Amino acid sequence: MRGEPLLDWYEAVRRPLPWRFTRDPWAILVSEVMLQQTQAARVVPHYERFLARFPSPRALAEAPAAEAIGAWSGLGYNRRVLALRAAAQVVAEQGWPPPERLQELPGVGPYTAAAVGSFAWDAPMAAVDTNVRRVIERRDGERRSPRALARRAAELVPEGRAAAWNQAMMELGATVCRPRRPDCGACPVQAGCAGPDAVAPPVRPRGERFEDSDRWARGRLLAALVAGERPPELAPERRERALAGLARDGLVVRGVGGEPRLP
């Protein structure tokens, strides 16, 4: 997986996602935060609108929290924008830290730091997301702990090609080495792979319907506040749980009589 077949394949088939055509660390950080637990196709329009409104860390750092939340609304996992705004405030005041210290920014973990470091500066860092983990574990035929997987991924990054390798591995996992029905015949690095059956997929318990979850209620309440509309009818206990969660995440504050508003 270190050689040219993977990189040549990526250059030929890569999806034209907008964040793949920039070295701007701000645009890359915005994309990576948006892509957390959200499909790329859904992110694209939000990403373009958000960057048009906040083209630099300073633009978001100086914006009121309510404006940032409103610009993010509809994307889900809304507390991400508050972490992104906190990171923007640090960068606006202190500048970008070197790649090896990106995790010092609020809300930036190992994966996001490696993604931004490699895509913006080609730092020799392996960005291991769910797709990359699946590709490596299937190829090697064994499941690894996060630390062991990070070491293994770092061994595979070709010198001077970290950005291209990370993008290629993510693309391979997203479009070919899929969780279900992998297209092994289209894989550019099939030779030597242990195969998709070598590592059993994790068994996930069946959860509740999304519409019955507190996350759905929080999202609907916040969307109504952003739009200035009447909030949805919810059972009192469910409404209070949802509002308490939004307040805990810093997405709403309680005014006179306990009524919520954007911060």
Domain harbouring 48, CATH code: 1.10.340.30
Task: Note whether 142 and 232 are same-domain residues.
Answer: no
> 18-40 pLDDT, tens per residue?
999 999 999 999 999 999 988 89
Residues 171 and 214 in one domain: no
59 and 25 together in one domain: yes
Q: Which residues are catalytic?
A: 32
Q: What is the 3-state secondary structure (H, E, C) of the chain?
A: CCCHHHHHHHHHHCCCCHHHHCCCHHHHHHHHHHHCCCCHHHHHHHHHHHHHHCCCHHHHHCCCHHHHHHHHCCCCCCHHHHHHHHHHHHHHHHCCCCHHHHHHCCCCCHHHHHHHHHHHHCCCCCCCCHHHHHHHHHHHCCCCCHHHHHHHHHHHCCCCCHHHHHHHHHHHHHHCCCCCCCCHHHCCCCCCCCCCCCCCCCCCCCCCCHHHCHHHHHHHHHHHHHHCCCCCCCCHHHHHHHHHHHHHCCCCEECHHHCEECC
Q: Which of 129, 152, 186 is the last residue of a domain?
A: 186
Both 28 and 95 in a single domain? yes
Is 200 among the domain residues? Answer: no
> Both 106 and 44 in a single domain?
yes
Residue 77 lies in a domain: yes
The verdict on pTM exceeding 0.75 is yes
Decide if 192 is inside a domain.
no
Q: Answer with the residue of higher pLDDT: 131 or 244.
A: 131
| Residue 263 pLDDT | 86
pLDDT score for 203: 62
Looking at the domain assignment, is residue 195 inside a domain? no
Do 120 and 234 lie in one domain? The reply is no
**How many other C-beta atoms are found inside a 10 Å radius of the C-beta of residue 231?**
16
pLDDT digits (tens, 9 = 90+) for 59-98: 999 999 999 999 998 888 889 999 999 999 999 999 999 9
The pLDDT of residue 169 is 96
Is the residue at 201 inside a domain? no
Where is the domain boundary, 186, 220, 238?
A: 186
Q: How far is Cα 250 from Cα 263, in angstroms, rounded to an integer?
A: 7
pLDDT score at 17: 95
Domain presence at residue 193:
no
Same domain? For 48 and 176 the reply is yes
On whether both 172 and 51 belong to a single domain, the answer is yes
| Pair (181, 224) in one structural domain | no
Q: Is residue 239 part of a domain?
A: yes
Residues 164 and 247 in one domain: no
Which band of pLDDT confidence, cut at 50, 70 and 90, is reported for residue 204? Answer: low
The total domain count for the chain is 2
Is residue 10 situated within a structural domain? yes
Residue reference for tokens 């960057």:
51
Q: Which domain holds residue 158?
A: 4-186
Spatial separation of the C-alpha atoms in residues 64 and 61, rounded to whole Å: 8
